[in-house]
Structure 1
Amino acid sequence: MDYTLEIDGTPETVPGGTGLLLLHPSTGETDRIDTDFLKTDTDNFLVISTRTTAREVRQKLEYYDVDEERAEILDTLSIERGYSRRSSDTVHYVAAPDDIDGIVAHIDGFLDEHDGKLRLSFDSVTELAYYAGEERALEAVERILDLLDERDAVGLFHLSEEPHDTDTVDEFRALFDGVIDLDEDGSVDADFSKID
């Protein structure tokens, strides 16, 4: 199964099982790329947020006119920070941003419960590494990429280059089929050479 991409500089389609890394200098322009990824050629999608709360994710989806009926949100921040929260059919929580097993289990359940074209956005791997450490974040990404491959889904993973050294960025980069490199001016340089 192929998935359409509507992101500048990327192939028109990628096969199911593809993991995409969004490398960025700051969070400014990532929302546009993220929402373009989520609203194209998708039956259901899951946003895993280690950077913002479910309420903020909903505001982003609404602002960029993404169909929220197809959305599920996994909020990893609200419980640990003591924010008020309301679980629903589409908003779920884990105890803390470093609850890797809880995050992976929820992704597994989402992919298991839905049919058709499924996408996920992980915003952000940098925040996950901040809370859980870089080694555990790398391991978590590998586990999630395996799930995408098994279920013919696709995922976009946000990584800010600034907090990580070059070797760590290269380790993350090596895990992915495609890399979207976002410049500060909003231009995109994409490398999809691993995809035939």
Structure 2
Amino acid sequence: MDYALAIDGAPETIPAGTGVLLVHPSTAETDRVDTDFLKTDTDQFLVVSTRTSAREVTQKLEHYEVEESKATILDALSVERGYTRRQSDDVRYVSAPDDLEGIVEQTRQFLAETDGKRRISLDSLTELIYYTDVERTIAATAELLDLLAEHDAVGLFHLAGGVHDEDVVADFRKRFDGVVELDPDGTTTATF
């Protein structure tokens, strides 16, 4: 099974099980790339948000006209920050961005409960590194990539390239089937 990929400079399709790393400047606007990825050729998708609340993710989806009925949001921020939370079928929570086991388990559960073409967006690996460390984030990323392969899903993982040492970025790059670079001017280049 192949998935259409609506990212400039990237292949038109990618095979099921593909993980894509989105390397971007820390100040870059990634919403366009992210939402184009989510709304193309998709039956269900999971947004794992470690930077923004579920409410902010919902606003982003509305703004970019992504079909919300296909969305499940995993909010890793609101519990720790004391925001109001309303658990529902399409909004789930983990205690904090350092709950990597919870993030992996919720992703596993989403993939087990849904059918068809599924996409995962994780925004962002950089936050997971801040809250834990590089080694734990790499281990969780490996588990998530295994889940994509096991369930014939695809994923887009955000990483703010400029805030990490080059060897850290290189370590993440080699774990992904594809890497999309987002330049400050919004231009994308892809290597698959």
TM-score (norm 1): 0.97
Which residue is 1:130 aligned to?
130
CA deviation vs aligned residue, 1:147-166 (integer Å, no higher than 9, x gap):
00000000000000122100
Structure 1 residues 32-85: Cα deviation after superposition (integer angstroms, max 9, x where no partner): 000000000000000000010000000000000000000000000100111111
1:188 maps to what in 2? 188
Match of 2:162, SS?
A: coil
| 1:41 corresponds to 2:34 | no
Give the drift of 1:26: 2.5
Count, aligned residues:
192
How far apart are residue 29 of structure 1 and its match?
Answer: 2.4
Secondary structure class of the residue paired with 1:22: strand
Measure, in 2, the Cα distance between the counterparts of 1:132 and 1:68: 31
Partner of 1:146: 146
5+ residue gaps, structure 1 = none
2:28–2:183 CA contact under 8 A, matched in 1: no
Aligned to 1:87: 87
Aligned residue number for residue 116 of structure 1: 116
Aligned to 2:3: 3
Does the 8 A contact of 1:26 with 1:184 survive in 2?
Answer: no
Identity, % of aligned pairs? 64
For 2:54 and 2:39, how far apart are their aligned partners in 1?
A: 18
Q: 4+ residue stretches of structure 1 with deviation over 3 A?
A: none
Kindly provide the amino acid, as one letter, of the partner of residue 38 in structure 1: L
- State the alpha-carbon separation in 2 of the partners of residues 84 and 162 from structure 1: 33
Letter of the 1:10 partner, please give it: A
Q: For residue 161 of structure 1, what is the aligned residue in structure 2?
A: 161
Letter paired with 2:164: H
Distance 2:27 2:145 in 1: 23
Q: Secondary structure at the match of 2:174?
A: helix
TM-score normalised per structure 2:
0.99
Indicate the SS of the match to 1:88. coil
Unaligned stretches of 5+ residues in structure 2: none
